[in-house]
Amino acid sequence: MKAISALVACTAFAAVLSAQQTAPPKTTLKVGDEAPDFTLPDTANKPVKLSDFRGKKVVVLAFFPAAFSGG
């Protein structure tokens, strides 16, 4: 479960940073580490925090870098 959380966090960071085109933050996350909290917009553009689901639900974050880009 912790490995999935770390993977989700890394994917979320990549999605946010890709959209902002900034340098990724330096991190020392390793497999098995707990994912740090982050906030992303849902489909209704409302902010959702990872911590809103921690201990309640399994979170799966899908990132498609070329989605809606025409290429």
Banded model confidence at residue 58, pLDDT cuts 50, 70, 90: confident
Question: What are the residue ranges of helices labelled H in the chain?
Answer: 2-20
* Phi, psi angles (nearest 5°) of residue 39: -125, 135
Alpha carbon distance, N-terminus to C-terminus of the chain: 34
**pLDDT tens sequence across 2-37:** 777 777 776 777 766 666 555 666 778 788 788 788
pTM: 0.44
Give the closest residue to 59 by CA, choosing from 8, 16, 6.
8
6: tokens are 């770390």
pLDDT of residue 47: 93
Structure tokens at 32: 């098995």
Q: Return d(Cα 40, Cα 46) in angstroms, integer.
A: 8
